[in-house]
Amino acid sequence: MHKQTIQYVIGGIFTLVIAMGIARFSYTVILPYMQETFEFSLATAGYLATSNYLGYLVGALVAGRLPIANKRIPFLQLALVISILTTAFMGIMNAILIWYILRFISGIMSAFIFVVIASLVLDQLASSRNMHLSGLFYSGVGTGIALSAIIVSPIHAIFQWNGTWIALALFCVVLFVLIIRFIKPIPPYEQHLVSQAIAPQKAPPKTWLKWLIIAYSLEGFGYIVTGTFIVSIAQESTSFHGDAAFVWFVVGVAAIPSCIVWSKLAQHYGYVRTLLISMLLQAFGIVLPAFTTNTLTLYASAFIFGATFMGITTVGTTLARHIVPINSHQIIGYLTAGYAFGQMIGPSIAGTIANVTNSYQYALIGAAAVVVLGALCLIGGVKYDRMAAPISK
């Protein structure tokens, strides 16, 4: 395998650890500690999450529209610096209004980084005929989630919630240095290979892309309810016994191999069919704690959620690239924008419902129903799977 391909995959994993695992999702595991200190409501917690996802929507839209095909790496590095700074300042500032701004900026950077690094790595994998490694690249999100879940509680015990944010930012600085080393410009002759690289077999037509975007947007709306509140659900449950942060660790551990597994399944059984099944499975995991919040169901929900949410992203974005193989950052940007719009409104609605009913039950049931609806939107595309599934190496 080409040395540059290996470096791009490793650098891509580290990038996702920073932008997604820590800058975006560490909020979920730090949230209960912040609530204990400042005693803000469930609705406020949801609004803070929503500000981040609003930023994520803006970042995805910007990334899809900017003509940055030949300037992706410097833009990526700048976005990573800003992302790390917003993580650090979450621990330096104590005002909720400032947190709204920081989470918004962090969201912009997370989406921009995700779209750019995904296009860089997927283009490199396509040019070297190693698209089967896309699942390994996307495992960076699960790795970041698992790492944040492991280190947040010990760091919090020593430095409190604010020191935790700063420590995570310092960890990101170390990864950033390695990313600069691994993600370097592709030589002109290899850029030509990328422009010529297309899906091994015919993909669904571009006219079907709207159904993928709708399904992926509904997935964003539904999955984020569990992604935002599962640790708080465990923390507040009287029938859950154990460290609530460990629930998030289970999510991360399940997510790490899931991208590889779902990617392999998609290559064998077809991308649309695999996406549909993964979304139905996720809906089951989301709804489990709506009926009982004991230790077993929460761990099971966390595992199913972790095992599906990044797998869905892996299969969805790879499928989109098969449909539109040229200028992949644009189609990934638009797909991510729909996803971001869904997850922007999800936490606010769920947090408000939980606040009014004093329970997460109805929010979880609604989130699961939305994901099922998204899965149903994919049914019409299953007929294309025979053509869309690439030959597995």
Instruction: Assign residue 318 the CATH number of its domain.
Output: 1.20.1250.20
Residue-range definition of the domain harbouring residue 35: 3-388
**Other residues' Cβ atoms within 10 Å of the Cβ of residue 164:** 26
User: Does residue 233 fall inside a structural domain?
Assistant: yes
Q: CB–CB of 168/291 below 8 Å?
A: no
pTM for the model stands at 0.83
What pLDDT sits at residue 168?
94
Q: What is the dihedral of CA 37, 39, 45, 51, to 10 degrees?
A: -70
Q: CB–CB of 71/123 below 8 Å?
A: no
User: Does residue 271 fall inside a structural domain?
Assistant: yes
What distance in Å separates the CA atoms of residue 211 and residue 217, rounded to the nearest whole number? 10
Number of domains in the chain: 1
User: Does residue 393 fall inside a structural domain?
Assistant: no
pLDDT in tens, the chain (393 residues): 578 899 999 999 999 999 998 998 888 888 888 988 888 887 888 888 889 988 999 998 888 788 777 788 999 999 999 999 999 999 999 889 999 999 999 999 999 999 999 989 988 887 787 877 888 999 998 888 888 888 888 999 998 999 999 999 999 999 999 999 999 886 655 555 555 544 444 568 888 999 999 999 999 999 989 988 888 899 888 898 888 878 988 998 999 899 999 999 998 899 999 999 999 999 999 999 999 889 999 999 999 999 999 999 999 998 988 888 766 778 888 898 999 899 888 888 888 898 899 889 999 999 999 999 999 999 999 998 865 444 444
Q: Is residue 383 classed exposed, middle or buried when 0-12, 13-18 and 19+ CB atoms within 10 A define those classes?
A: middle
**Other residues' Cβ atoms within 10 Å of the Cβ of residue 153:** 18
What distance in Å separates the CA atoms of residue 251 and residue 255, rounded to the nearest whole number? 6
Secondary structure (DSSP) of 305-348: HHHHHHHHHHHHHHHHHHHS-SSHHHHHHHHHHHHHHHHHHHHH
Q: Is residue 195 classed exposed, middle or buried when 0-12, 13-18 and 19+ CB atoms within 10 A define those classes?
A: middle
What pLDDT sits at residue 188?
56
Tokens of 66: 């900017």
User: Does residue 103 fall inside a structural domain?
Assistant: yes
Q: Which residue, chain included where needed, has tokens 């990934």?
A: 332
SS (H, E, C) 27-76: HHHHHHHHHHHHCCCHHHHHHHHHHHHHHHHHHHHHHHHCCCCCCHHHHH
User: Does residue 71 fall inside a structural domain?
Assistant: yes
What pLDDT sits at residue 189?
54
Query: What burial letters (b/e) apply to 249-279, b meaning 16+ CB within 10 Å?
Result: bbbbbbbbbbbbebbebbbeebbbbbbbbbb
Calculate Rg over the CA atoms of the chain. Answer: 20
What pLDDT sits at residue 126?
79
